[in-house]
Amino acid sequence: MPGAALPMNVTVTPETIVLLPVLLFSLICHEIGHAYVAYLGGDDTAKLQGRISLNPLPHIDPLGTVLIPIMQMFTSIPLIGWAKPVPVNPSRLRSAKWDLAVSLSGVGVNLGLAVAAAVLYKIFLLTSFAPDFWGRPDPVTIPYLVSVIFRGLILMNLALMLFNLLPIPPLDGSHVLAHFVAARNTPGFRVLAFLERFGYVILILFVVTGGLWFVLEPVLNSMIWFLGFVLRIPFRWFVI
């Protein structure tokens, strides 16, 4: 089950340099979520392959984790990426409920990371160490870069969660949809079969044309606004 992230338009800047490790960390945690829940459910396939680990090497996909994020640094296209899919053997899971739990575990981890980062960001803002982060200071300061890391964790993990809930194979949302489309020769099954056949093509076109960001941005902004309202953080302080 691959993970992907979609925060903001970037170029090669100090912000980009600190955000790339944040992206990698978020992708790894997403996959660890899948692997760990699969292990709890009875399938140790991913565990035996070293996927319940923060060591990036077992998780790196040369294209999605390395090449594409680096290429995105030189474009105006939102930064995206994915890690190597976690292998899951549904036949070894204790029940279909565990299969569903595995599908949702990655997005659950990303939601948890986003909320935790938002709380830590609030604590950081309450300290005298944190100035008003509206705009980049000149010169760039360590407190500013720390704030970028917190904001990156929030934005990337919320975007990662939303992106993976899309019902387009091989994203997690398609696995969730499959749990509710069991009968063959139904409209839902035919739609899922079509998406499974052309999922990667649809996904790439969706990303390259900007349609993905067009769909996700309103929902992402709403979630950020809600977090800001609860934690009393101005919306503009989430922007990178």
What ranges in the chain are assigned the alpha helix state H? 14-40, 45-48, 68-72, 96-126, 142-164, 172-179, 187-208, 211-231
pLDDT of residue 45: 96
Can you give the pLDDT at residue 221? Answer: 93
- Residue 51 has a pLDDT of 96
Task: Please compute the mean of the pLDDT values over residues 74-87 and round it to a whole number.
Answer: 77
Q: What per-residue confidence (pLDDT) applies to 122?
A: 92
Per-residue pLDDT, 110 = 97
Environment class of 138 (CB within 10 Å of its CB; exposed 0-12, middle 13-18, buried 19+): exposed
For the chain, first and last CA: distance in Å? 28
Q: Read off the pLDDT of residues 204-221 as tens digits, 9 standing for 90 and up.
A: 777 777 778 888 899 999
Residue 46 pLDDT more than 80?
yes
Residue 187 has a pLDDT of 66
For the chain, the farthest-separated pair of C-alpha atoms sits apart, in whole angstroms, at 63
Confidence check: pLDDT of 88 > 90: yes
Write out pLDDT tens, residues 186-207.
666 677 777 777 777 887 777 7
Q: What are phi and psi of 66, to 5 degrees?
A: -115, -65
Report the SS3 class of residue 188: helix
| Residue closest to 131 by CA, chosen among 121, 122, 143 | 143
Q: Which comes out higher in pLDDT, residue 9 or 38?
A: 38
Residues 93-145 have pLDDT tens digits of 998 899 999 999 999 999 999 999 999 999 998 886 665 666 787 788 888 89
Confidence of residue 4 (pLDDT cuts 50, 70, 90): low
Spatial distance between the Cα atoms of 140 and 41, rounded to a whole number of angstroms: 47
Res 117: pLDDT: 97
pLDDT the model gives residue 70: 78
pLDDT at residue 102, as a whole number: 95
Catalytic residue ranges: 31
The pLDDT value recorded for residue 29 is 97
Q: Cα separation of 47 and 112, whole Å?
A: 22
* Of 64-78, 140-154, 160-174, the least confident: 64-78
